[in-house]
Amino acid sequence: MARDAIRITKLTSTALPRILVNTTGLAAATGEPAVSGAVWKLEARDRDLDSNVIAIPPGGAIDAHAGPDLDVLIHVLGGSGTLTGERGILRLEPGVLAWLPRRSMRQLSAGPDGLRYLTVHRRRQALVLDPGSVGH
């Protein structure tokens, strides 16, 4: 008597590793004068990390400010610039990996070719407002 084969497979319950972007192309676009801000961001839903690629146009800057309440790593992809903190100025160039401790003061300035860098930090939870508590 022949029996039909039953195939049992395991379904994954977690996200699978995957390539998100090739940063070579993002770095190649360094220096576009009209491009500023996040040019790529991590869109995966279930994650503990956030990541962005930030573009600063030639001669542009991100004004001095205290960072968020979390550590941030930046990895320079293209261009050049400076990171000014409480203890001085650090030179930024492709390949540099810098640590910005939580709440540290920082200002980023792009050189003549602009600056592009990847940020990685713990994901911040979205602010959820309870409509019943507003105005009470």
- Per-residue pLDDT tens digits for 41-53: 888 777 888 999 9
pLDDT at 134: 47
- Does position 81 have pLDDT exceeding 50, yes or no? yes
Q: Is residue 131 part of a domain?
A: no
CB atoms closer than 10 angstroms to residue 82:
17
Domain of residue 93, residue span: 41-123
The predicted pLDDT at position 2 comes to: 60
More reliable by pLDDT, 51 or 11: 51
Residue 132 in domain: no
Residue 5 within a domain: no
Q: What is the pTM of this model?
A: 0.77
Number of H helices, E strands in the chain: 1, 7
Nearest to residue 43, comparing CAs of 134, 133, 130, 123?
123
Question: Predicted confidence band at 15 (pLDDT cuts at 50, 70, 90)?
Answer: confident
Separation of alpha carbons 20 and 22, rounded Å: 7
